Amino acid sequence: MATCRGVHGWNAMKWTLGRCRSARTRCEAGKAEGRGSTWTKQVAKKYLGDGKTTQVLGLGQGNLPAALVQCIAEETEGNVVVIPTSARAAAEAAFHGLRVGKAVDHPPPDVSFAMVDEIDQVEGSLPAICGRFHGEIHVDILGEKSVAMASKKHVVLVEAEHVVERLGGNVPVVIPLQNWEDVAEELDDLFLGIAEIRRHPSKGTSDPRGGPHPYVNEAGYTVVDVCFEECIQCTPFELAEMIEGVPGVLGHGLLLDCIDTAYAVQGNEVRELVPYLKNVDKSVQKNILGDF
């Protein structure tokens, strides 16, 4: 069972494997059907204006945010500026006649939409994980988080089967290419015996070194996963602090205290998740949550 060891007695958080395994929602439904589905209209109408004034929207990567684009174009009559975090998001926006801009040229987004790999529905601030490697698709983790933190409202979309009661699995960590092995070794030492470190490949499957073609971003960084076999046995905030304490780490895929609303999508249906501890002091939050 994965235990976050080391700093501040984080082993005190008693998160059981039984609860972890029962947390994974078993959904038979497939992925969201993007175009024209009822959930896209429901989400878009809630956050978009009347089209009379220009809105700035952040748009992250993933099939669910992409499914929103057509509906956004229809609801706003194209009177929006989209700040994309990926080439795919930019292409989707341009295809539907929406203006594409850069964050430095516009005010902070009124609302941003992004897709996450997994979200914790029990912890009160809806912590989530983004940036996992899927086939040949790579997420700009730093870009996605930058837009999320800058936005007045950040809305995330997740496939219903990935709504859990405890985060687990792979946590992506962004590190510089130049000394990536040293940083990866520090991470490996930190999580020795409870997680393994695997580097993202450009394509194919990950392994400790990223295979024959390891992934390197245009900005000159690479990504490794901290791979937990089970649920993470400390709070997401504690895990983030541990990762950030490793010299050389540039960022990670943990989204903490920045989600205003989440939508779990199953087919054409959607379930809304709202945080109830957002922006609460972390020490107070721990007292509220207690030990599970």
Convert the pLDDT of each residue in 201-219 to its tens digit.
988 777 788 888 899 988 8
- Asked if the model's pLDDT at residue 153 lies above 80, the reply is yes
Among 57-66, 71-80, 204-213, 273-282, which range has the highest average pLDDT? 57-66
Taking residues 241-262, report their average pLDDT.
96
How high is the pLDDT of residue 19?
Answer: 34
Asked if residue 112 has pLDDT above 60, the reply is yes
Binned at pLDDT 50, 70 and 90, residue 134 comes out as: confident
pLDDT at 48: 84
Distance, CA of 246 to CA of 167 (rounded, Å): 21
CA of 123: how far to CAs of 128, 162, 224, 271, 287, in Å? 10, 15, 25, 17, 12
Cα 159–163–167 angle (5° rounding)?
125
Lowest-pLDDT range, 8-12, 73-77, 154-158, 229-233? 8-12
- Two structure tokens written together for 292: 């599970």
pLDDT of residue 207: 78
Is the per-residue pLDDT at 284 higher than 80? no
Vertex 123, ends 120 and 124: CA angle to 5°? 120
pLDDT of residue 25: 29
- 185 pLDDT higher than 60: yes
